[in-house]
Amino acid sequence: MAGSRAHSGGRAKKKAARRPAKKAPGGKAGARKAAGRKPSPRKRATAKTVAGRAWQRENAAGRRQRALEILRRLRAEYPQAHTALHHRNAYELLVATILSAQCTDERVNQVTPALFARYPAAIDLAGARPEELQAMIRSTGFFRNKAKSLLGMSNAVVDRFAGRIPSTMAELVTLPGVGRKTANVVLGNAFGRDEGVVVDTHVARLAQRLRLTRQREPVKIESDLMKLFPRSDWTMLAHVLIWHGRALCRAQRPRCEACIVSDLCPASRV
């Protein structure tokens, strides 16, 4: 009898050892909170979902009204907003914009003074030796492809437009190395024509955070922004979004506590 009880007690202990330990009250979230750690990724995802649902409930009229107020505040905050690329004419701006792909404006501005002194017009650039041109723009990155685009663009300008940079979207985008974004930069800043909205990384990021668009492709983002804002504001819209993106609404650590449009931003952390 005693042996049977001992055997039974041993089995009970083995079963108890196999049982999973009881979870602390409150589960993982409670344990994290008690330890003073950040909420779990599930909590953060929920917050993003709530913001997304708020955007979905906003009708077109409400979104446009909010968009116009955002622009009004940003224009007041950055009254001197303009393109950071140094230029004196459409030719110089076009060259600088082509060089700015995958490169900072500061770096481009360091390269262009010598470049424009050596090739002051499209006809001069069209006759450049590829090796010499590549050496002058090497620090901007992807210098071989950029040199090819610059030579193709300048030769096309000389051959088809008598050496003058064309002033229409349809003509600009036929030039080698010139897409819609580059054409928008030149048209808006060199010719004063609002044909579209420049969508760079800053504009795309802010447009998505502010829930002015749900698109990811630049052309689709541009289309949504053009529907929200008056045509006369398209060029300035890109400038103030870029300036705000550089100053506060950064990719990694946005300073929402100092943002003048945080109360209008569904993604605000304030």
Query: Is 200 noted as a catalytic residue in this protein?
Result: yes
Name the active-site residue from 105, 124, 148, 200: 200
Strands (E), 32-187: none
Q: 3-state secondary structure string, 2-29? A: HHHHHHHHHHHHHHHHHCCCCCCCCHHH
Categorize the per-residue pLDDT at 12 as very low, low, confident or very high, splitting at 50, 70 and 90.
Answer: low
Nearest one of 106, 102, 83, 78 to 93, comparing CA atoms: 83
CATH fourth-level superfamily of 90-190: Hypothetical protein; domain 2 (1.10.340.30)
Using the predicted structure, report yes or no on whether residue 47 has a pLDDT greater than 50.
no
Q: What is the pTM of this model?
A: 0.78
34-44 in b/e form (b: 16+ CB < 10 A) is eeeeeeeeeee
Using the predicted structure, report yes or no on whether residue 168 has a pLDDT greater than 90.
yes
pLDDT at 204: 98
- Which one is predicted more confidently, 135 or 35? 135
Count of C-beta atoms within a 10 Å radius of residue 106: 9
pLDDT at 269: 80
Query: Is 224 noted as a catalytic residue in this protein?
Result: no
Name the active-site residue from 124, 159, 181, 233: 181
Q: What are the tens digits of pLDDT across the range 53-69?
A: 555 578 989 999 999 99
The residue extents of the domains of the chain are 90-190
